[in-house]
Amino acid sequence: MRKNLRAVKKVNAHTAHDVKLELDVRCQKLIERILGDAFPDVAFLGEEGSAGDANAPYRWVVDPIDGTVNFSHGIPHACVCIALQEMGKTSKTRLPKGQPSDPYQTVLGLIYDPFQDELWTATRTDSARLNGRVIEVSNRTRLEDAICVMGYGKNDAMIRESLPLFGKLTLRCRKLRNMGSAGLGLAYVACGRFDAYIERGVSLWDIAAGGFIIERAGGEFWHEPLGNQDGFRLIANNGHLRRKIESLAK
């Protein structure tokens, strides 16, 4: 990613609000090969496709370039997200009534920002860390003191649904940001730079690693599937702000 930040990128596909790069595929194949060689029995679920036994007891969940639109424009705010999930654990995901639960739970999370050389990690048996240093979420309890970050989804309907909350949060928060990378937004919440991350319509590979790191840093990873192909609704925060954010969404 560092090598190709300012290079001309080959676009495989694009929509009004998203872009898919040839480099996304190349990065995922590289990650898949390295992890597959080291852990051949672990399945692989990635933004650019899946591999291995869908019923394997463990699976990697990978976003090879989170923040692709930033990266495609030469903006150095993007990352790699890798989570390891185990089957058979009770999922903490809140599910709509009647929807089957996801049998997987994250046990390891890793986010790497190659442009700042920052590595966030967490495991089930260790604290959340940034470049090896233990981190914690912030302790801010008022939206008026908080810096929040918000994503808007990738289609017109999601954006229109998100804009009213964007306006309300802009007026209530100290600052509201849209940085273009869910992974880094979650990582920044985990280490206290941001206080909450909000998005409607975000994919599992965008949030599995970062949400787990937030939990291990003492925060709250509230998320629920939308019941279709649009991913998850998400309010990840320091544990003090979700109810206040939800009250603005009504």
The per-residue pLDDT string of the chain (250 residues; one tens digit each, 9 = 90 and over) reads 999 999 988 988 888 778 888 999 999 999 999 999 999 999 999 988 888 888 899 999 999 999 999 999 999 999 999 999 999 755 555 544 444 456 899 999 999 999 999 999 999 999 999 999 999 999 999 999 999 999 987 788 888 999 999 999 999 999 999 999 999 999 999 999 999 999 998 999 999 999 999 999 999 999 999 876 668 999 999 999 999 999 998 7
> Are the C-beta atoms of 228 and 101 separated by less than 8 Å?
no
- Residue 248 is predicted with a pLDDT of 95
Flag whether the pTM goes above 0.75. Answer: yes
Furthest-apart CA atoms within the chain: distance in Å: 50
Residue 124 Cα distances to 58, 90, 105, 209, angstroms: 14, 14, 10, 12
Q: Which domains does the chain have, with CATH numbers?
A: 11-134 (3.30.540.10), 143-249 (3.40.190.80)
- Residue 216 is predicted with a pLDDT of 98
- Residue 75 is predicted with a pLDDT of 96
- Residue 236 is predicted with a pLDDT of 98
- Residue 230 is predicted with a pLDDT of 64
Tokens of 208: 């599995």
Residue 108 buriedness (CB in 10 A; 0-12 / 13-18 / 19+): buried
- Residue 100 is predicted with a pLDDT of 46
